[in-house]
Structure 1
Amino acid sequence: MLVFSWSYYHRYNLLLALEKSSQTDPLTGVANRRYFDSKLKSEASRSARSSSDCALILLDIDHFKRINDTFGHPTGDRVICALADLCVNQSREIDLVARLGGEEFAVILPDTNITDAKNLAERIRKHVEDISVTGDAGEIVKWTISLGVSSLPESRSSRYTTEIVMEMFIKKADNALYEAKKKGRNQTVLSQ
């Protein structure tokens, strides 16, 4: 019985570790794109059922290629990790911070209206201005971010599938992010 119990416990821990690794970005420890997509779908469904608010922030590091080219990829990785840590520390426990790829991140904000989401986005942006990382040669590296904020589409009628609503949700935030970059970077733009 003892051997069986130990074997079961060991298998259970391995399954937990496997599940966590399939949902987590290995560099930053935040959620990965696969888990983000799954969580966004469930939040969009939950929000539609309960008629509650849900907001999304998309953000990325301005001129990230320049950071990598100037200071090297290990320094770029430290910048990415610092941003992930900052987003987690500024967000609530119910929010989901995810690394979508490269230097792009997202924050899903359940039960949050667009005004409160913008306030969080601005708080993150301003904190980024105040932090830095140290490069391999000891130099201080500072950077900025651009952010796009959206809320679930008003039109959540049954004619839209959850996938279409998710697509609209992401597209609105993505358009706002690109507008922030077009306007000069280091700013937050709300979706129209």
Structure 2
Amino acid sequence: MRSQWNRLSLSADQLGSALLLAIVVGLTAFALAPELSGAPLTAYLVAAPVVAIVCIVAWRREHKDTWALLRANLQLREQAEALLQEARHDPLTGIDNRRSWTEKLDREGQRAARYGGDPAVIMLDLDRFKSVNDLLGHQAGDTVLIDLTNVLLASLRSSDTMARLGGDEFGVLLPDGGAHATAVAEKLRSGIEQEALGVTVSVGVATAASPHTSTAASPHRPPGASPDMPPGASPDMQTLVRAADAALYDAKAAGRNRVVVATGAGPELRHAA
């Protein structure tokens, strides 16, 4: 609502802006016209601010609808960005969710097919996480998931992608990471163990060079337990995810808290608890 004393502009802040600019104009005029003196100088300094105020008020009135439209567009853009952020990120941990994971897998598969590369996929699952929720409550379980996420992220590159795929299951995409995927997986596993979060993780690894054996269903994986890729991911990356997932369940069957790598000759045990 327009202030009662503000008769020159649409709002008090506009009048304040006009007065400020008027003062600047007046001081500038004084600095640029030192040769003037007496009545001409006084008239000049009085007229300049008045002219500035009138011009600003007229311009603001004329373009008020434009400014309102610009503000509305900015608000809509911010809302759209917020919705996009929510649609592609896990609300608890803040990392990518399954939808974003699928999209990035697809893009990496296309990139690798076109330019070559050796992407790798790491699948992680918390060991006996249900007991944490049962004994300590879901709030404590959420805290564990958040702390675990931070520990894992600290061991990854900025170019890597980590996503929460389900309650206590995570996926990691390493672009051109096949050569060091096993070392990264072991670093992730040992990092969780050393942090003493009250949980350990089982890890499955597959690279583009050798995902063959674990593309079939793991004999240790219960039906329906695999976070198979939704439609849309490239077939090569889908094969990679399934291979890593099968290796993950082999790790659990072998005693948990270990890394199993899917290879052409069969899952290879990398760590024994």
TM-score by length of 1: 0.87
Question: Match for residue 84 of structure 1?
Answer: 149
Give the count of matched residue pairs.
178
Question: Match for residue 69 of structure 1?
Answer: 134
- SS of the residue corresponding to residue 90 of structure 1 reads coil
- SS of the residue corresponding to residue 99 of structure 2 reads helix
Aligned match for 2:180, one of 96, 108, 116? 116
Aligned match for 2:113, one of 26, 34, 48? 48
Q: Which aligned segments of 4 or more residues in structure 1 are displaced greater than 6 angstroms?
A: none
C-alpha contact (below 8 Å) 2:105/2:234 kept by paired residues: no
Larger radius of gyration: 2
Question: Match for residue 78 of structure 2?
Answer: 13
Q: Percent identity?
A: 37
Question: If each structure's strand is expressed as a fraction of its own residues, which one has the higher value?
Answer: 1
Higher RCO (Cα < 8 Å, 6 or more apart): 1
Once residues 236 and 124 of structure 2 are traced to their aligned partners in structure 1, the CA distance between those partners, rounded to angstroms, is: 20
Structure 1 segment 95-110 matched on structure 2, within 5 A: 95-110=160-175
- SS of the residue corresponding to residue 174 of structure 2 reads strand
C-alpha contact (below 8 Å) 1:153/1:165 kept by paired residues: no
Matched, 1:152 2:203: no
Distance apart, 1:77 and its partner CA:
0.9
Once residues 59 and 128 of structure 1 are traced to their aligned partners in structure 2, the CA distance between those partners, rounded to angstroms, is: 11
- SS of the residue corresponding to residue 191 of structure 2 reads helix
Question: Match for residue 181 of structure 1?
Answer: 252
Residue identity in the other structure for 1:172: A
TM-score by length of 2: 0.62
- SS of the residue corresponding to residue 165 of structure 2 reads strand
Distance apart, 1:154 and its partner CA:
6.0
C-alpha contact (below 8 Å) 2:120/2:173 kept by paired residues: yes
Gaps of 5+ in 2: 1-65, 212-231, 264-273
